[in-house]
Amino acid sequence: MLALWAEMNLVLADEFRDGNVPAQKEPLRVAQRAFQGLPPTVQEYYFRGDSACWEKELLNWLRDEKRADGPQGLITFGISVRMTPNLKKHIERLPDSLWKPYREDSEAVRECADVLNYWPEDEGRPEGAGALRYLAIRVRKRQGQLFADGSEVKHFAVASNQWNWAAERLLDWQREKAARLRRCTTC
């Protein structure tokens, strides 16, 4: 597991794990070490992660502005959500009028939408923490082609505590996490 300070292209924390350790096991420990490794001059905090970071302890820690073992105040985050049957059903029920163009290439069309009125059953949140914003991504192949599993459409979701950015901006920022790591030549 690797925590990268994207603006400085600097690894702040890492943890080598055996191959049989699930990716979502205890990401909080690495996140805490990463934030503790930042210099005191850093005043704004952001966290973006893939679905391995969709873990209750880490989410609660990020959402708690009086968190232990980390900076006080807001940490803006965007984390890929593991797709549950309930979330998928909710996304599939979104009307076409909510979907906005997101990205296109020669293979697929991607659209995004805010997932309104979605509350996961198990979302326990720290006292005073606001609701999460869920954004859905819908991917469709061009020319009516099917995906390898035979489906016509694929869905993905991102959760965030950032409500002021346009959906496209938030998704671009959150998805950039992988591009930053690929550009790191010293890793």
| CA 85 to the chain's CA centroid | 18
Q: Predicted confidence band at 183 (pLDDT cuts at 50, 70, 90)?
A: very low
Count of alpha carbons within 13 Å of 98, Cβ hemisphere only?
15
At 24 the pLDDT is: 83
Q: What is the pLDDT of residues 101-160, one digit of tens each?
A: 999 998 899 999 999 878 775 566 666 677 899 999 999 988 778 788 888 899 999 999
pLDDT digits (tens, 9 = 90+) for 77-88: 999 999 999 999
pLDDT at residue 17 in the model: 82
Q: What are phi and psi of 159, to 5 degrees?
A: -115, 145
pLDDT band at 173 (very low <50, low <70, confident <90, very high): very high
Is pLDDT of 33 > 80? Answer: yes
Q: SS3 letters for 35-92? A: HHCCCCCCCCEEEEECHHHCCHHHHHHHHCCCCCCCCCCCEEEEEEECCCHHHHHHHH
The pLDDT of residue 49 is above 60: yes
Q: What is the residue type of 134?
A: Y
Q: How much is the pLDDT for 171?
A: 96
Q: Please compute the mean of the pLDDT values over residues 59-64 and round it to a whole number.
A: 93
User: Contact, 44 vs 75, CB < 8 A?
Assistant: no
Number of domains, the chain: 1
Amino acid 178: pLDDT: 59
Domain limits at 21? 2-183
Which phi and psi angles does 119 have, rounded to 5°? -130, 105
Instruction: Give the pLDDT mean for 162-185.
Output: 76
Q: What distance in Å separates the CA atoms of residue 184 and residue 168, rounded to the nearest whole number?
A: 25
For residue 133, give both structure tokens: 């914003």
Nearest to 82 by CA among 111, 108, 56: 56
Q: How far is CA 157 from the centre of its chain?
A: 8
| 12 pLDDT higher than 70 | yes
Q: How confident is the model at residue 172 (pLDDT cuts 50, 70, 90)?
A: very high
The average confidence (pLDDT) of the chain is 87
Extract the tokens encoding 176: 């950039």
